[in-house]
Structure 1
């Protein structure tokens, strides 16, 4: 009840004040003229206190309860007092005003006749000293004034709701703009890094290799001058890239999330409390952006859909992962509906081998949890790398970029697939960075051959082009990851560590295309099953669950059907497939492609 009172506006306090003034005045008047009262004084005062408090409590719960109790308790009290003192009939005017102000929807159809016509009629019967129509006019004016006050409060509530929604949308658009700018800066910095930066690196490495071929001192002097110019230029490029970073990127994750919470609190007018646990670990830019996006989407959903007033944000740095929790006190939902923002959030986390969970229940608010694995440098575990690329400058540049990490060791490089296979047999690297477009043997054939001979060697496809069909074939052939060459060095290093630990990572832009292709493939398979065997989509879903080893009771609880209905679906599917039992059904479903092994 206290929480309800905290949400009151000025008009709620006005109505409570009117009730309080009316009730206190009535009690004082009753005490003053107690000689004319038929009932004991304490009974009348108790009745008056009940007529004040009970309808007010009912109003906090449901307006319909209030209307009934107000008319019965307060109206009955006024009728009793009017029968004793004919001048007491105006005491019900304030009550009529409040009844009209708190009525809603169809309740006007009965509250208006009851208060304007019926109650004055009862007053006239018990005390015919005043004209019935005069009382109708009084109570009618009071009801109209209450209805006008109701329209005023409704208008105020709607304006307040619109204002809050606009504030949330403005905050949301502001954050979207910042994230878009940050991602555009990232893209531009990657483009510059991969073009100008790699070009300078290639020139420097080429000139260094050319040093031994110079015979004259003048030539060596000129070469040193060119090398100095090249190194100075690449340092300037790095300086420009550093300046392109947004202020938010220069902040730590804790500072960035705190700033986001403070700004949201100021604009949306909700309480946002932030807590951080554990020692902050170094995160990649992509992981940092995923947490920022997760918090932004969670805060917006909490206010827009959950109507929350208090939000608690917790960030915990663990040994194995980093976890962000956003818990609000909103109204919650019976069934969570995922929109575009939540799907994008889950996709970001999935691309980093993380997960996003949402728990919500009516009356308990919503809890959003985003967990990403910790990708710290493994100094005690030296990762041996083999670089495979037909461009010598790219091989040298990659080696130069990766050698600065203490846990990464480039043990060799190959210019084509055949050389890569030979080096894998001799060096046994942990991770292979594989280009696709190479002479003699391309990256796809090389990956398949390496995986057939040495399954323990991890292969990370590192290419320039986004070909979803080719990427899907490579992943089916055993590739452990797919990354574009536009990736920043820190992202590349973190991905290598993840691949080495047994994880799988696909570039975010590529994952969109791969999942679209997979969805189309699944839809095509299911459509063929529907056409060839006359299976319904519910029967296909049942076969897929049976293949996972689930019993009929478990399936029934999962798909919200009775056990008998599930058995009927199973029998129908078995008949259509021409099988006799669960094992034969699973085998048949594997053959026609409904499920995969």
Structure 2
């Protein structure tokens, strides 16, 4: 009860003060006329004290209990005193005011008639010399004044809610602006890296391959001069990229998330407790951004939708994963539905091979958990690599870069696809780094034959160019990833580990180019219903929706469908939602059953 009183505002104290004044004055008056009472004085005083305290205690628990006890106890005292002293009918004015002030929702429908009509009529019935119209009008005016006070309370509460929501929204917009700037900075730096940086890398590698063809001393000098110029320009580009990095990106994950939690606590006026568990280790920028957005979205939803007052944020650094938990004491939701922010949060985590889970129950608050796997070197496992590229300088450069990692071992190098197949038979590598354009046998043909004969070998394509058509073709041939040779060495090592563990990775810019391709080009890549099937489609399903329906009937999950169609998880979910709506069903199982009944499969 003390915790409830601590949350009181000015109008709660005003009502308590009025109640105390009424109780005190009534007690004094009862003592003065004690000789004329028909009941012992102590019984009447006890009755009057109960009429003051019991309804007030019930009001702290439920306003319905309050209304009933107020009418029975305080109304009973007024009825008893008025039967002895007709002028005591004025004592019922203050209870009428409080009943109106503390009524809520639809309780006016029954509290008003009882307070204004029924109880005054009983007072007139058990007393003498009181006119019904007079007491009803007096009580009615008191009730209306209480109702006006109630409207003032409601207005104050709504203003407080709006103020808090505005604070949360301002904090949310501030964080969104910060995230947008960070992502735009990252995008721009990646664009520079993948254009200028890639061009300089290609120039340097190409010039190195010309060394055997330059026989004269003058040619050697010119070549060396060009190489120095290219390397110097490359260093300048890298310098620009480092200058574009925000100081926020260089901070440790714990410091970043604690800062977000403290800022939210200050602006949203809620209690946020942050704790980090385990030994902190460095994480990639994408992981930091995902955790950042997950924390921000979870705290905002907790206050906006759950009306939470206390939030506990736990960041766990575990050997195999990084886990963020956000627990609030809000209202909770029985049937949780993902909004735009939650969907975006899940897509971010899925892109890193992680996931976001949400547990929410009515009255138990909400728990949001974000898991992101930790890509680390394993002391118990060594990944055997085969490098396939027709340029010896690139093969040797990749070998030097990768053998610097303790868990990566280059067991062989091939100059074309045919030699790669022979070495796979002999060396049994775990993963092959495959180039596309090679003499004798190109990377697409080699990948297809390799996957047919050794399906367990993972193939990661390293190409010089962002060729979407070649990328689509080799991914259909069974490749497990497609990257550009301009990728940083650390990211390359992490991607190799990710693909080795069963993941799939496509260069982000190339992936967006695939998505931006015209729909008719994308449709050519996948199975679409034939003409006879179109005739059966009287639900207005598009080719893409029919294709997704076919995949759903095979038991594929949204994430699997997204990877096969080069779409995002959210886009596939949108297609599925439209599909369910057209079929008039609510979920996957109903859609498959109806499609089978209608002959759509």
TM-score, with normalisation over the residues of structure 2?
A: 0.78
CA separation in 2, counterparts of 1:217 and 1:180? 53
Is residue 352–residue 372 contact of structure 2 (8 Å, CA) maintained in 1? yes
The residue that corresponds to 1:16 in the other structure is: 16
The residue that corresponds to 1:155 in the other structure is: 155
- 2:307 counterpart SS class: coil
Q: Return the offset for 1:311.
A: 0.5
Q: Deviations over 1:11-38 (max 9, x none)?
A: 2232233223322433343344332222
Q: Deviations over 1:133-172 (max 9, x none)?
A: 4433432322222111111111112222222222222222
Q: Does 1:100 align with 2:77?
A: no
The residue that corresponds to 2:546 in the other structure is: none
- 1:316 counterpart SS class: strand
Comparing 400-409 with 14-23, which one deviates more in the overlay?
400-409
CA separation in 2, counterparts of 1:226 and 1:291? 44
The residue that corresponds to 1:493 in the other structure is: 493
Is residue 211–residue 220 contact of structure 1 (8 Å, CA) maintained in 2? yes
- 1:358 counterpart SS class: strand
Is residue 205–residue 394 contact of structure 2 (8 Å, CA) maintained in 1? no
Q: Return the offset for 1:409.
A: 4.9
Number of matched residues? 549
Is residue 198–residue 394 contact of structure 1 (8 Å, CA) maintained in 2? no
The residue that corresponds to 2:69 in the other structure is: 69
CA separation in 2, counterparts of 1:384 and 1:286? 27
Q: Return the offset for 1:124.
A: 3.1
The residue that corresponds to 2:183 in the other structure is: 183
Matches within 5 A, 1:406-425: 406-409=406-409, 417-425=417-425
CA separation in 2, counterparts of 1:470 and 1:208? 26
> CA, structure 1 residues 106+366, in 2 after alignment: closer, same or farther (shift >3 Å)?
closer
Comparing 96-105 with 16-25, which one deviates more in the overlay?
16-25
Q: Return the offset for 1:216.
A: 7.2
Q: Does 1:275 align with 2:284?
A: no
Is residue 386–residue 431 contact of structure 1 (8 Å, CA) maintained in 2? yes
Q: Return the offset for 1:336.
A: 0.8
CA separation in 1, counterparts of 2:145 and 2:230? 83
Q: Does 1:350 align with 2:350?
A: yes
Matches within 5 A, 1:205-354: 205-207=205-207, 227-354=227-354
Is residue 352–residue 372 contact of structure 1 (8 Å, CA) maintained in 2? yes
CA separation in 1, counterparts of 2:472 and 2:52? 72
The residue that corresponds to 2:567 in the other structure is: none
CA separation in 1, counterparts of 2:53 and 2:483? 69
- 2:171 counterpart SS class: helix
Q: Return the offset for 1:506.
A: 5.2
Q: Return the offset for 1:545.
A: 11
- 2:377 counterpart SS class: coil
Q: Return the offset for 1:410.
A: 5.1
Is residue 416–residue 441 contact of structure 2 (8 Å, CA) maintained in 1? yes
CA separation in 2, counterparts of 1:88 and 1:55? 21
The residue that corresponds to 2:570 in the other structure is: none
Q: Return the offset for 1:107.
A: 3.1
Is residue 201–residue 486 contact of structure 2 (8 Å, CA) maintained in 1? no
> CA, structure 1 residues 124+255, in 2 after alignment: closer, same or farther (shift >3 Å)?
same
- 1:173 counterpart SS class: helix
Q: Deviations over 1:484-525 (max 9, x none)?
A: 6675543332121122234444566749959x989x989979
Q: Return the offset for 1:130.
A: 4.8
Comparing 426-435 with 41-50, which one deviates more in the overlay?
426-435
Q: Deviations over 1:66-95 (max 9, x none)?
A: 222211221111111222233322222221
- 1:19 counterpart SS class: helix
> CA, structure 1 residues 494+269, in 2 after alignment: closer, same or farther (shift >3 Å)?
same
For structure 1, the 5+ residue unaligned runs are 535-539, 549-568, 578-591
Q: Return the offset for 1:184.
A: 1.4
The residue that corresponds to 2:583 in the other structure is: none
> CA, structure 1 residues 472+49, in 2 after alignment: closer, same or farther (shift >3 Å)?
farther
Q: Does 1:170 align with 2:170?
A: yes
CA separation in 1, counterparts of 2:335 and 2:388? 50
Q: Return the offset for 1:46.
A: 2.8
The residue that corresponds to 1:91 in the other structure is: 91
The residue that corresponds to 1:456 in the other structure is: 456
Q: Deviations over 1:327-357 (max 9, x none)?
A: 0000111111111211222222222222211
CA separation in 2, counterparts of 1:504 and 1:158? 50
- 1:356 counterpart SS class: strand
The residue that corresponds to 1:555 in the other structure is: none
Q: Return the offset for 1:255.
A: 0.9
> CA, structure 1 residues 290+54, in 2 after alignment: closer, same or farther (shift >3 Å)?
same
- 1:375 counterpart SS class: coil
Is residue 319–residue 374 contact of structure 1 (8 Å, CA) maintained in 2? yes
Q: Deviations over 1:571-595 (max 9, x none)?
A: x99x979xxxxxxxxxxxxxx996x
Q: Return the offset for 1:292.
A: 1.2
Over the residues paired in the alignment, what is the CA RMSD in angstroms?
Answer: 4.2
CA separation in 2, counterparts of 1:56 and 1:528? 72
The residue that corresponds to 1:192 in the other structure is: 192
CA separation in 1, counterparts of 2:447 and 2:184? 33
> CA, structure 1 residues 545+216, in 2 after alignment: closer, same or farther (shift >3 Å)?
closer
